[in-house]
Amino acid sequence: MRPANEAILVIDVQNDFCPGGALAVAGGDDIVAPINALVPEYPVRVFTQDWHPADHHSFASQHDGAAPMSVIEMPYGPQVLWPDHCIIGSDGAAFHSKLDPRPADLIIRKGFRRQIDSYSAFFENDHATSTGLEGYLRNRGVEKLVVVGLALDFCVNYSAVDAAKLGFEVTVIESLCRAIDFDGSLNAAKAGMAAAGITLK
């Protein structure tokens, strides 16, 4: 067992982000078994799920003539318009069938507010609306955070950077993540994480 002040954060290992899903990340299912093996080593275990209403504003289908993966300006900044994915209660929003969520102490669902997307496990994309995760981790005495999951260049990246900004010591295990790599997003994410003091291993 790892020290009591360490937590693992498992990001969005859901059907829609795995091969065959609506927003599949190449090799997304390859990380499931090693994540299952790693999770029990940590005294604090948090899983997240993308959890969108069917008419979420980040979906290209909600904007006339907009193509998936195009970018528009939202009140909180640039927003990629995604294919419909991780709709509340759908099979696509469920955890991958081989992921074992039973050890999770807490499951954070994010992106359920129609008007705003949420990549980070800590904040919605306005960088102000909190999910409550910081307070939970503080109350559990967590100081160090290991982050794994999908996708490395979006939700893993945003979660890790927010955690570092909040003062946690953060490590991202790259071998237990997979990336979308949209328009150079992977290199940009890795550079940003390194600049934030995050350990990539």
Q: Active-site residue numbers?
A: 12, 110, 155
Of the candidates 139, 120, 121, the residue with the CA atom closest to the CA atom of residue 4: 139
Contacts of 69 (CB under 8 A, 6+ apart): 60, 80, 81, 82, 182
The structure tokens listed for 103 are: 């050890």
- C-beta of residue 100 within 8 angstroms of C-beta of residue 114: no
Of the candidates 129, 23, 10, the residue with the CA atom closest to the CA atom of residue 76: 129
Of the candidates 122, 92, 112, the residue with the CA atom closest to the CA atom of residue 17: 92
Q: What number of other Cβ atoms are within 10 A of residue 150's Cβ?
A: 32
Task: With H, G, I as helix, E, B as strand and everything else as coil, classify residue 44.
Answer: strand
The structure tokens listed for 127 are: 């960088």
Rg for the chain (alpha carbons), in Å?
16
